[in-house]
Homo-oligomer: A and B are copies of this chain.
Amino acid sequence: MAQESLHKYEVVAAGIITMIEDASPHDLLPTERALMEMFGVSRMTIRAAVRKLSETGQVYNVPGSGMYVGFREVFSKSPRLTSFTEDMRSRGLEASSRVLSAQSVRADSGLAARLGLELDAPCFRLHRLRLANSEPMAIEEVFVPESILRLDDLDLGQSLYEQFASRGLQIYRAEQEVLAVILSASDCQLLQVPDGSAAIGVHRVSSSNRGRPIEFARTFYRSDRYTFRMIVNRDEAVQ
């Protein structure tokens, strides 16, 4: 069941991935010019594919030398914008959720600033326990302007992102802040962790492709079950 990719560079990237699967980290890959012939595309298309793969650490380039298979597959996921469901799926877990509350609220100054709203603008707040393989994984608090989705129209049984999409709003981009917190007693109980446990907090403002803020979410992940993994690269020389 081969997926029908639209763009050539995606086909090339998929082809390179199949090469990588049967190779060890730091193995030398064919040169870009050789890949041109193998895939019958121009060099820029090869480089677009390679860029995509090197962003996730699956391959890496050494100028003047060649292109190599990335280190370890465990670490191959750089931070990308994903829904909780996708994130869990990529870790081999099945996501579900339990609604703790859903209510209408008025934006305070902090929320209004984050979502680009007037003070006291109507929003709804959705408070959910997120589970992975039926075990508590995170507590999520989402605020959405009622100008985008009214609480009355909210279908609690359906994915929030799908409901945005059905209104022509697709989330493209997010500003995100990662911090450490100590959970409240009630949150510890919900997550089934010892009292006073630490958690990874993520504050996120998600926006449409037009830069319009769609949601502000505060999520607290169990730190015994969840970590952020990423590959970081340097632009220039070290300090």
| Chain A residues within CB distance 8 Å of chain B | 25-26, 44, 57, 60, 62-63, 65, 68, 71-72, 75, 79-83, 85-86, 159, 161-162, 164-165, 170-182, 196-201, 207, 209-211, 223, 227-235, 237-239
Contacts and interface: CB of A to CB of B under 8 A. Distances in A.
Contact of A86 (B44, B86, B239): B239
B80 A176 contact: no
Contact of A198 (B181, B211, B237): B181
A164 B239 CA distance: 12
Total copies of this chain within the assembly:
2
Given A81-B233, A210-B62, A200 B180 contact: yes
Given A196-B196, A239-B161, A177 B233 contact: no
Contacts of A227: 177-179
A211 B68 contact: yes
Nearest to A89: B239
Nearest to A179: B227
A-side binding surface: helix, strand, loop or mixed? mixed
Contacts of A197: 182
A161 B198 contact: no
Contacts of A211: 25-26, 60, 68, 71
Contact of A209 (B62, B159, B162, B181): B62
Given A26-B210, A172-B233, A180-B180, 4 more contacts: A79-B230, A161-B239, A164-B238, A170-B237
25 contacts: A26-B211, A60-B211, A62-B210, A65-B210, A71-B211, A79-B230, A80-B235, A159-B239, A162-B239, A165-B238, A171-B234, A171-B238, A174-B231, A174-B232, A176-B232, A177-B229, A177-B230, A178-B227, A178-B228, A178-B229, A179-B228, A180-B180, A181-B223, A182-B198, A196-B196
A229 B176 contact: yes
Contacts of A79: 79, 230, 232
A79 B177 CA distance: 11
Nearest to A199: B180
